[in-house]
Chain A
Amino acid sequence: EVQLVESGGGVVQPGGSLRLSCTASGFTFHHSNMHWVRQAPGKGLEWVALVNGDSSATDYAASVKGRFSISRDNSKNSLHLQMSSLRSDDTALYYCASGMTARLIDYWGQGTLVTVSS
C-alpha cells in the first residue's frame, strides 16, 4: 500500500522559514517523480513544485520560485520542501504527491498545515 506522510507544518511569521518533509513507502520511491501541491483554506488545488527521480530536474510554480526549494533523499525515501520568505498567501495545507511520470499525479499524502501569521 502506498503511503505518503507529511510533517513539519506549523505557524510561522511573515518572512520566516519552514522545512516540510514527506516519508514515502509502498512503492519504488527512486523511480517516482514527486510533487508538492497546496490548498489554501476553503480553496482549490495549486501545484507548487516537482523533483524527478534522480533529482536532476526540479521545477516550481511562479508564485514560489526563488523562495522554495524541493529536494529528495532516495536513501531515506524522503521528500522535502524548504520554504523561505514566507507570506500570508502561502498559508495552506501542503500535500506531498507521487507520479510515475512528471505529467501524472498518482497518490497523495494527508497534508501538513502551514500558517503564516504574525
Chain B
Amino acid sequence: DVVMTQSPLSLPVTLGQPASISCRSSQSLLYSDGNTYLNWFQQRPGQSPRRLIYQVSNRDSGVPDRFSGSGSGTDFTLKISRVEPEDVGIYYCMQGTDWPPSFGQGTKVEIK
C-alpha cells in the first residue's frame, strides 16, 4: 500500500502570511492513464472534509485562488498565499492512483 507522509503535522501561521504543506508518497502517483491522482482536502473544526484540489493542481469550484497545488511523482505541495482566519483546520492529502486509496496523517493549520 502507498504511504502518504505529510509535513509539518502542525503549522502555526500569521494571518496574511503564506503557508506551505508537503505531502510525499512512498511510490510514484503517476497512473498509467497519464493522470496523477493526488488530492487535497480541508477539514474545518467540526465539519466534514471538503476537497480543495484534485489531480495535483486543479482547484475545485468555489475554492479561493490563494490555494494552489503543485508537484509530481512522489512530492507534492499545497500552498496558501495569504492565510485567512477561515483557513484554520486540518489539511489532508489523498492518493487514488494505487489501490487502496490512502490519506496523509493531516496537517493542523492554526493562527499564531
Contact = CB atoms under 8 A, between A and B. Distances in A.
Interface in A63-118: 95, 99, 101-111
A95 B48 contact: yes
A14 B31 CA distance: 40
A56 to B, nearest CB: 16
29 contacts: A35-B101, A45-B49, A45-B92, A45-B106, A46-B103, A47-B100, A47-B103, A61-B100, A62-B100, A95-B48, A99-B96, A101-B96, A103-B31, A103-B35, A103-B97, A104-B37, A104-B39, A104-B54, A104-B96, A105-B39, A105-B94, A105-B96, A105-B101, A107-B51, A108-B48, A108-B50, A109-B48, A110-B48, A111-B48
B30 to A, nearest CB: 12
A110 B96 CA distance: 22
A64 to B, nearest CB: 11
B51 A103 contact: no
Given A95-B49, A104-B96, A105-B39, A44 B101 contact: no
B5 interface: no
A54 interface: no
Dominant SS at the A interface?
loop
A44 B103 contact: yes
A59 to B, nearest CB: 7
A111 B51 CA distance: 16
B105 interface: yes
Interface residues of A, number: 21
Nearest to B35: A103
Candidate in B54, B55, B101, B104 with the most chain A CB atoms within 10 angstroms: B101
Given A46-B103, A103-B35, A108-B48, 4 more contacts: A44-B105, A47-B100, A105-B101, A111-B48
A103 B96 contact: yes
Interface string B46-62: 00111100110000000
Q: Which 4 A-B pairs have the closest CB atoms?
A: A103-B96, A103-B37, A45-B103, A108-B48
